[in-house]
Chain A
Amino acid sequence: MKARIHITLKNGVLDPQGKAVQNALGSLGFDGVGDVRQGKYMEIELSETDPDKAEKTVELMCQKLLANTVIENYTIKIGD
C-alpha cells in the first residue's frame, strides 16, 4: 500500500520561492502566470493492508515530522 502526501503552505504564509518561480516563468515568456505556491510531494510504501489504519498512521507521521503545522497543511491519499 502506498501513501501519497502533499504538503503545502497555509494561506497567508508568504512563499518567496513560489514568487521567484512565478517571476522566472514570466521572464521565460509564459504569459498569464498568476500566484505560484511551492510545496512538497512524498510517496511512502507501507506494509499495512488496511487503508483506514494506514491513513491514521500517515496522519500521525504528518503531525510528528512530515509537516510543520505552524505554516503547512497536508493531504493524504492512500492507494496502490
Chain B
Amino acid sequence: MKTAVIVFPGSNCDRDAAVALERATGKPAEMVWHGNAELPDADLVVLPGGFSYGDYLRSGAMSARSPVMEGVIAHAKSGRPLVGICNGFQVLTEAGLLPGVLMRNADLHFVCKTVGLQITNNETIFTNGYASGQTINVPVAHHDGNYFADDETLDRLEGEGRVAFRYTDNPNGSARDIAGILNDEGNVLGMMPHPERVVDEALGGTDGSALFASLVEALQ
C-alpha cells in the first residue's frame, strides 16, 4: 500500500503524518513537494497540518492552488482516500473538495489542547476501527478551526452521515460541534484535530491509531 504526504511551505505536521502512516502500513510514506506538477501514484494521500504560506490571504487558500493540487483533486475524484488534517482540512475546503469554511476561532484564541471527540459515524473507511458514539482524546492546535457552512449544507452533512467527528466540548465555535466531515462519496475526510499526534503512548496516547488502521484495512 502506497501512501503520500504533501509538503507545503509551512507544513509542520508532515513528518508526524509520515510516521503515523509508516506505523500503520509498514512502509515509508512518499513526501511530495507541493510544487510538483504530478502526484506520484498512491493509494492514500494526506494533506498535513501546519501554517502553509503563513496563512496568507486565508488559511489554506494559497496551498489549494498549488501545482500538486491538480493531481490531488484527480486522486480524490478517482475515489481513492484523501485525508486533510488541520491546515489540510482548510486546504480541502479552499480547493472545493469539502463544503464550508474554517473561520477564525469564535473567541479569537489560538487553541492548543487535547479535546474529546465523539465518533459520530463509524461506518466510514476512516472510522470503522472505532465504535459508534465512542469518545476519543485527540489534540487540536489551530487559530482558524471554526467550521462554518449554511444551514442547508449542515443539514445535508448530518442527514447523509457525513459528520465523522464532533467535539464533546466545542473549543472553537464550530457549527453543530463539527470537528470532521466527509465528501459526498465518502473518500475525502477533513478534520481539525490531529490523529497523527496520538499514535504512541510515549507522546500522550494512541487514540489516533485506529484511524490509520481503518484506512489500511479498507485498502487491503
Contact = CB atoms under 8 A, between A and B. Distances in A.
Interface in B96-145: 99-101, 103-108
B107 A16 contact: yes
Nearest to A66: B57
B104 A17 contact: yes
B94 A68 contact: yes
Contact of A16 (B57, B100, B108, B149): B108
Residue among A64, A66, A71 with the highest chain B CB neighbour number at 10 A: A71
Interface in A56-72: 64-66, 68, 70-71
Contacts of A14: 103, 106, 148, 173
B15 interface: no
A68 B58 contact: yes
Interface residues of B, number: 18
Contacts of A13: 103, 148
A57 B107 CA distance: 37
A18 to B, nearest CB: 10
B156 interface: no
A65 B58 CA distance: 10
A70 B149 contact: yes
Given A65-B61, A65-B65, A66-B57, A71 B108 contact: no
B148 A16 contact: no
B100 A70 contact: yes
A77 B219 CA distance: 51
Interface in A7-32: 13-14, 16-17, 20
A16 B105 CA distance: 8
A16 B94 contact: no
Interface in B51-106: 57-58, 61, 65, 93-94, 99-101, 103-106
Contacts of A70: 93, 99-101, 148-149
A70 B29 CA distance: 34
Nearest to A10: B150
B101 A16 contact: no
B104 A68 contact: no
Contacts of B104: 16-17
Nearest to B108: A16
5 contacts: A14-B103, A14-B106, A65-B61, A68-B61, A68-B101
